[in-house]
Amino acid sequence: MNTNSSSETPKGDRIAKVLARAGIASRREAERMIEAGRVRVNGEQILSPALNVTEADEITLDGNPVSEPEPPRMWLYHKPTGLVSTDRDEKDRGTIYDDLPDDMPRVMSIGRLDLNSEGLLLLTNDGGIKRKLELPATGWLRRYRARVNGRPTDEMLEPLRQGITVDGERFQPMTVTLDRQQGANAWLTIGLREGKNREIRRAMDHVGLSVNRLIRISYGPFQLGELKSGGVEEIRRKIVRDQMGITLEDDSGTALKKKKPTGVKRSPRRKTGEFGGPGQPAAPGHVSKRPAKPSKGTRGQPKTRG
């Protein structure tokens, strides 16, 4: 355990960071575990996360040794509707973690999608990656397909492109394009960089449109593509390294498709007449019908569509 005086630069990393890297919990959750007295370093109980440790220190949680940290990893996950993006839900609703394959390591979601939204969620085993990608300063573009009830016009959508204030909260300008009108509904493609709570639904309601389906199709350079609902696919470690600006001892990992466990509850099938039904066109959420071509120098990297 590090005992350097305050005048010296502490060696190692903060204990909560080490626990998060080991896949135990997020850094915040790890801090709560420490404060609850569940963590020992070299046999000594610690009650404050203000401690640096090195590889020479022995760390236990509830008496069990903490394993060596795994290399940073990321996954693409196609979240179905009807699941929440939290570890636990006070209303006892199903979570995305109930839906993941049994052989997945402990992961955290990067950002969230609400209960009735679907599409791309990024997952990671590394708290540092999660924090970095959720920072507003990172500013990765998130693109969505939204089905709205109403007949949107450019005049209605222009305030969204300029930025609006809803219930005292300022929303930054969005990119909004009208793809097509289909009866009483219309499909829009929307891009934003902030992702505040229910931002698209609230913004659309503000201009007189009601969202009845919302699909995230990309997050920065990563695309939903043809990943099926409930599907999980690991991102190549080399891409994780390149995108995050980190060094990996082993970046040979490949994109691994995981099989779904049996017994997982699914959302009800779409009624006949909706997108994807018999004799109907494909859902607009699945706009990437061709594998993404690798960009120069980042083979296998998904590319954001324009």
Residues marked as catalytic: 114
Residue tagged 């839906």 (tokens)? 99
Decide if 173 contacts 161 (C-beta within 8 A): yes
How many whole angstroms separate alpha carbon 286 and alpha carbon 276? 10
Decide if 237 contacts 73 (C-beta within 8 A): yes
Q: What's the Cα-to-Cα distance from 22 to each of 55, 61, 64, 252, 267, rounded to whole Å?
A: 12, 11, 13, 20, 33
Residue 297 backbone dihedrals phi, psi, to 5 degrees? 90, -10
One-letter identity of residue 195: G
Contacts of 188 (CB under 8 A, 6+ apart): 145, 146, 147, 148, 152, 157, 176, 177, 178, 179
How many whole angstroms separate alpha carbon 49 and alpha carbon 4? 16
What tokens appear for 226 in the block?
A: 């043809």
CB atoms within 10 A of CB 246: 15
Decide if 20 contacts 69 (C-beta within 8 A): no
How many whole angstroms separate alpha carbon 123 and alpha carbon 242? 17
Binning the chain into helix, strand and coil, the percentages to the nearest 5 are 15, 25, 55
How many whole angstroms separate alpha carbon 33 and alpha carbon 29? 6
Decide if 166 contacts 202 (C-beta within 8 A): yes
How many whole angstroms separate alpha carbon 220 and alpha carbon 235? 13
